[in-house]
């Protein structure tokens, strides 16, 4: 679950900022997930280009942090490229 706020929305270009959290205990409990924490907090910055009324391309940078791993834990970074279509 999360929230997203628009930073700007020009004719074809747009950007959003979002925060979210996720919970995934895994099928066999926390032990089967290895070093991954079941609770993660996410912050994302998204940049996009509207190709037309129905299609867009988006580049997103997402950083995830596990609150239960202590001060020495490293965040997980994700870089995404998405193609979107509205029906």
Task: Judge whether residue 30 has pLDDT over 70.
Answer: no
CB 40 within 8 A of CB 63: no
Nearest Cα residue to 2 out of 62, 71, 85, 73 = 62
What would the two tokens of residue 82 be?
Answer: 């998405």
pLDDT tens-digit series, residues 61-71: 999 887 765 56
Task: Output the pTM of the full model.
Answer: 0.69
Q: What angle do CA 48, 54, 57 make, to 5 degrees?
A: 25
Specify the pLDDT at position 66. Answer: 79
What would the two tokens of residue 38 be?
Answer: 């079941």
Half-sphere exposure of 57 (CA within 13 A, CB side): 3
Average pLDDT in the chain: 84
pLDDT band at 14 (very low <50, low <70, confident <90, very high): very high
């Amino acid at each position: 679950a999360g929230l997203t706020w628009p930073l700007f929305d020009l004719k074809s270009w747009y950007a959003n900022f979002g925060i979210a959290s996720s919970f995934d205990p895994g099928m066999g409990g926390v032990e089967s997930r290895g070093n991954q924490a079941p609770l993660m907090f996410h912050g994302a910055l998204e940049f996009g280009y509207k190709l037309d009324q129905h299609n867009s391309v988006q580049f997103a940078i997402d950083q995830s942090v596990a609150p239960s791993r202590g001060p020495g834990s490293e965040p997980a970074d994700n870089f995404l490229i998405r193609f979107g279509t509205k029906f």
